[in-house]
Amino acid sequence: MAKIKKEELLKLASLSRIELNEEELGSFGKDIDSILSFIKQIQEVSGNTGVEKRLPGIFSMIQNSFREDGPAHKPGEFSKEILAEVPKREGDYVKVKKIL
Amino acid sequence: MNITDLTIKSAHDHLKNGDFSVNDLVDATLKNIEEKNPKINAYLEVYKDVKGGIEKAESLFKGGKAHVLTGIPLALKDNILNKGKIASASSKILEKYRATYDSTVVSKLKKEGPIFIGRTNMDEFAMGSSTENSAYGVTRNPLDLTRVPGGSSGGSVAAVKMNGALAGLGSDTGGSIRQPASFCGLVGLKPTYGAVSRYGLIAMGSSLDQIGPLTKSVGDAEILFEVMKGKDPKDSTTLSFSEKKELPKKLIIGVPEDVLSIDGIQPDVRKNFEESIKRFSKLGYEIKNISLPNAHYSLAIYYVIMPAEVSSNLARFDGVKYGLHENGENLLGDYIKTRTVGFGRETRRRLILGTYVLSSGYYDSFYGKANELRRAVIGDFDKVFENRQAKNGVDIIITPTTPDVAFKIGEKAADPLSMYMSDILTAPQSIAGLPAISIPSGLSKDSLPIGLQITAPYMREDLLFKVGKDFLGEI
């Protein structure tokens, strides 16, 4: 298997919304190569319908859980605790940088 | 007061008889923590408000309304939400995050009045097999401070082993309850996928994660499981248990030779496993060699599916809604800076790997294939459990829990793949969603614990408890 290229690693990091420094670009490349060479054994098998069909066993017994439409709780019941965890806020609003 | 030999069950009897009070029990536990935690680092935080819980528990005993868990000191893994308390998943990105609600397991347990002592160290977001990947330092194995306790639930296991709790809660995605239980000589149960609600568990691999108990006896694991299990409308993957099925008179144990021929199983572990087989024969069990021809692919399947799920689950950490926030040049810069500073090395490694296997050029050849093979592994287990009378049919399966005993701190830290290999015998059950328990089965030449893993069909935790108790001679 071809070794993972530096540009490829930078692209994956950017898609993962993280940055890698120079040292990590080297060591992560080496680690990912060795992990990929281990997991590529799964390509020995034929067939490839895994993602279209539902998994069998216990996974086929799981069903969606629905509830009636309607208010699940009183308005504002949890706002105080949840807003207390927001790192940047203005009053009761979550504050983010300008998007446009 | 020495609590080394106390189980949940025996402590409850003593509390009921008035041999000691809940206060005495908690005091002794806290003293052990004060003495041992600075070296072992099992607890990241010991809760300051245990007193209220003690009073409530004492009054339940006085009123004759005590449950077997009332007043029992428990350790909580740092990825299980306990309202108002920090739950950091041992990550910098959640360092100050306070749970805004109780996880279902915590709210079910709280009804019985145990004492949650504190939150325990783990590999960041449960990614690891040694508890070395925590942002808050390594946890040491109480049996040998130069060795790892296993992971990722290493803190909860070490907490119980150093007598800083009578039992603990962990989570298991590819072996994170069973492997550390094996490394520290405890009992660890990974329930059937869907048996215990994950509502309020910080997600890692959603098609794999399960919460389970870490205890000193099989009976104690059963006590905690019975309280925690069951359908939860807040977790659509949960299932209800039907009435208990009758147990066959003579149970058949399967020994999967193709799994045991995997490279790297150490001679001490193999020898101990042979002794375990003999012990089961003496106890009247029938032993059968069976075949699980695809099980050896499980760890490779796991290292495709798990990182794929990690990369989607961890997308929620953006520095906007909760947790760490680092300032960047714009909104995208905020995301990138927050995640780069907040996530540790192993977490970032798995994010990259997950993004890789899900990217358009590799999706079919990795993620598609892994799911195809996952179906084959599930099929292997289904076949042996389907008809116990068939040539390849059994009631339960046994293997060692891990290929080797607890390794030295730092020994595998530089080579992620060698670290991953310690889950090679626990990954098949995770991939198939089957229940499995690790119980202590003996010691190596160096007097380190070895674990035996017992696997049962879906929703048959009752079989694990019966067989585990038989093996350990528990009544």
Instruction: Judge whether B367 is closer than 8 Å to chain A, CB to CB.
Output: yes
Mean pLDDT of all residues in B382-408: 95
- To the query of whether residue B77 is one of the catalytic residues in this protein, the response is yes
**Residue-wise burial string across B46-60, b where 16 or more C-beta atoms lie within 10 A, e elsewhere:** bbeebeebbeebbeb
Of the candidates A2, A12, A6, the one whose C-alpha atom is nearest the C-alpha of residue A27 is: A6
Distance between A67 CA and the closest CA of chain B, angstroms: 8
Strand partners, B350: none
Strand partners, B190: B436
**Residue B371, both tokens:** 């799911």
- Residue B371 phi/psi, 5-degree rounding, is -70, -35
Q: Closest CB to B321: pick one of A61, A63, A94.
A: A94
Mean pLDDT of all residues in B289-314: 97
Does the distance separating the beta carbons of B378 and A50 come in below 8 Å?
no
Q: How many CB atoms lie within 10 A of CB B19?
A: 11
pLDDT the model gives residue B378: 97
Cβ-contact B301, B169 below 8 angstroms: no
Q: How many Cβ contacts (< 8 angstroms) between chains A and B?
A: 177
B116: DSSP letter: E
**Residue-wise burial string across B235-248, b where 16 or more C-beta atoms lie within 10 A, e elsewhere:** bebbbeeeeeeeee
Q: Report which secondary-structure segment, H or E, holds B472.
A: helix B461-472
Mean pLDDT of all residues in A69-85: 93
Strand partners, A49: none
Strand partners, B212: B170
Q: Report which secondary-structure segment, H or E, holds B45.
A: strand B43-46
What is the gyration radius of the CA atoms in chain A, in angstroms?
23
The answer to whether residue A50 scores a pLDDT higher than 60 is no
The answer to whether residue B200 scores a pLDDT higher than 60 is yes
Cβ-contact B315, B321 below 8 angstroms: no
**pLDDT band with cut points at 50, 70 and 90 for residue A46:** confident
The answer to whether residue A49 scores a pLDDT higher than 70 is no
Give B304's contacts in chain A (Cβ within 8 Å).
39, 42
- To the query of whether residue B176 is one of the catalytic residues in this protein, the response is yes
Does the distance separating the beta carbons of A82 and B372 come in below 8 Å?
no
Length of chain A: 100
**pLDDT band with cut points at 50, 70 and 90 for residue A52:** low
Give the span between the Cα atoms of A32 and B351, in whole angstroms.
11
Instruction: Give the pTM.
Output: 0.97
Of the candidates B103, B85, B91, B90, the one whose C-alpha atom is nearest the C-alpha of residue B47 is: B85
pLDDT the model gives residue A51: 62
Cα–Cα separations (whole angstroms), residue A69 to A50, B231, B232, B235? 34, 21, 18, 18
Strand partners, B451: B440
The whole-chain average pLDDT of chain A stands at 90
Tokens 């020495």 locate to B2
pLDDT the model gives residue B205: 98
- Residue B108 phi/psi, 5-degree rounding, is -65, -45
3-state secondary structure of B123: coil
Interval B236-290: pLDDT, tens: 999 998 877 788 889 999 999 999 998 889 999 999 999 999 999 999 999 999 9
Does the distance separating the beta carbons of A34 and B417 come in below 8 Å?
yes
Cα–Cα separations (whole angstroms), residue B305 to A55, A69, B371, B455? 13, 34, 8, 22
pLDDT the model gives residue B195: 98
Strand partners, B235: B232
Does the distance separating the beta carbons of B416 and A34 come in below 8 Å?
yes
Of the candidates B105, B114, B194, B108, the one whose C-alpha atom is nearest the C-alpha of residue B434 is: B194
Q: Closest CB to B375: pick one of A31, A56, A64.
A: A56
Cβ-contact B319, A83 below 8 angstroms: no
Strands B187-190 and B449-455: unpaired
- Per annotation, catalytic residue among B77, B161, B190, B216: B77
Strand partners, B43: B120
Give the span between the Cα atoms of B85 and B72, in whole angstroms.
19
Lay out the sheet containing B115-120: strands in order across: B43-46, B115-120, B73-77, B167-172, B210-215, B187-190, B436-443, B449-455, B396-400, B252-256, B286-290
The answer to whether residue A48 scores a pLDDT higher than 70 is no
Give B301's contacts in chain A (Cβ within 8 Å).
42
Give the span between the Cα atoms of B412 and B156, in whole angstroms.
21
Distant-in-sequence, close-in-space partners of B219: CB < 8 Å, separation ≥ 6: B7, B8, B9, B465, B469, B474
Q: Choose, out of B83, B304, B372, the residue to mutate when testing the contact with A (most A CBs < 10 Å).
A: B372
Interval B181-193: pLDDT, tens: 999 999 999 999 9
The whole-chain average pLDDT of chain B stands at 96
Give B124's contacts in chain A (Cβ within 8 Å).
none
Does the distance separating the beta carbons of B340 and A48 come in below 8 Å?
no
Cβ-contact B300, B367 below 8 angstroms: no
The answer to whether residue B457 scores a pLDDT higher than 90 is yes
Strands B73-77 and B115-120: parallel
pLDDT the model gives residue B361: 87
Dihedral sign of CA atoms A90, B313, B93, B125 in order: positive
Q: Closest CB to A45: pick one of B98, B303, B373.
A: B373
**Residue B280, both tokens:** 């089961």
B-chain residue closest to A32, CA distance: B353
Cα–Cα separations (whole angstroms), residue B199 to A63, B90, B107, B202, B234? 16, 19, 11, 9, 6
Whether the complex's predicted ipTM surpasses the cut of 0.85:
yes
Of the candidates B132, B146, B214, B229, the one whose C-alpha atom is nearest the C-alpha of residue B178 is: B214
Distant-in-sequence, close-in-space partners of A50: CB < 8 Å, separation ≥ 6: B367, B368, B369, B370, B371, B372, B373, B374, B375
Q: Closest CB to B382: pick one of A12, A57, A63.
A: A57
- Per annotation, catalytic residue among B88, B91, B176, B217: B176
Concatenated DSSP letters of B259-315: HHTSTT--HHHHHHHHHHHHHHHHTT-EEEEE--TTGGGHHHHHHHHHHHHHHHHGG
Distant-in-sequence, close-in-space partners of B96: CB < 8 Å, separation ≥ 6: B86, B88, B323, B324
Interval B28-55: pLDDT, tens: 999 999 999 999 999 999 999 999 999 9
Half-sphere exposure of B441 (CA within 13 A, CB side): 33
**pLDDT band with cut points at 50, 70 and 90 for residue A1:** low
